[in-house]
Structure 1
C-alpha cells in the first residue's frame, strides 16, 4: 500500500511538469474595411517595419522600449500606421509590438501582408 505522502508527491510532480509558467497575451485582430486611401482628411501616415532584431519607424531605427514614447511624439490627432513584417518575425515579437500600439487609442494601424 502506497503512503499518502507518495501520492501527494506524485500529484505535485505531475502538476508541476504539466503546467506552463510563460505569460500569454491575447491580441484582437480585425480585418480592414473597404475604406478609401484618403478616408481621413487630417490623418497622418506612419510606417513601422518590424524585423526579428530591429524596429524602424519612418526609417529611424529604435528599440521597442522607446516605441511608445516616439509614437506619442509623432501622434497629432488621428494617425494611421502601416505595419510591415519581415518573414522571420516571431509571433511573440509581433504581440509585443501590438501591445504597444494598442496603448495609443488615436492610432489606427493596418498590418501589411509579407510578399
Structure 2
C-alpha cells in the first residue's frame, strides 16, 4: 500500500527578524538623509519687566489675517517696507492678532526685515 505524503505544515513567520529588518532600514534612511536648514529669521521677543523710556515712542504694527495696520494706516504687504523706511522711530512693535497664521506673521516679518535701521519686537499674549 502506497504511503501518503505527510501534509505540509505552514511555518509561522518570525516577526523578530522582520522587525529587525524594518529597524535597520529606518536607521539607514535616518542616517543617510540630509536635512536642509531653512533661512533663519532673527527677531527679538519683548521681555517682561521694566524698560527704559525710549527717546521716541515706538511704532505699532498690527498683523491681522486680512490686513496690516501701521500705527493707524492700513497697508498692503508690498508697501510695508517703504512705510517702515519712512518712520522716525527705529523700534517697531509687531502685534499679531489671535487668529493670524504663523505663515502670515512670517511673511510680514520677512518683508519688514530688510528695512535698514528698523528693529522689530514681537509682542502678544
Decide: shared fold, TM above 0.5.
Answer: yes
Structure having the larger proportion of residues in strand: 1
Cα deviation, residue 71, structure 1: 1.0
Gaps of at least 5 residues in structure 2 are 1-37
1:84 is aligned to: 95
* Alignment root-mean-square deviation, CA: 2.2
2:11 is aligned to: none
Q: What is the TM-score when the length of structure 1 is the normalising length?
A: 0.63
Q: Equivalents in 2 of 1:81, 1:65: separation in Å?
A: 17
| Match of residue 52, structure 2, among 18, 37, 42 | 37
Gaps of at least 5 residues in structure 1 are 1-23
- 1:103 paired to 2:118: no
Q: What is the TM-score when the length of structure 2 is the normalising length?
A: 0.59
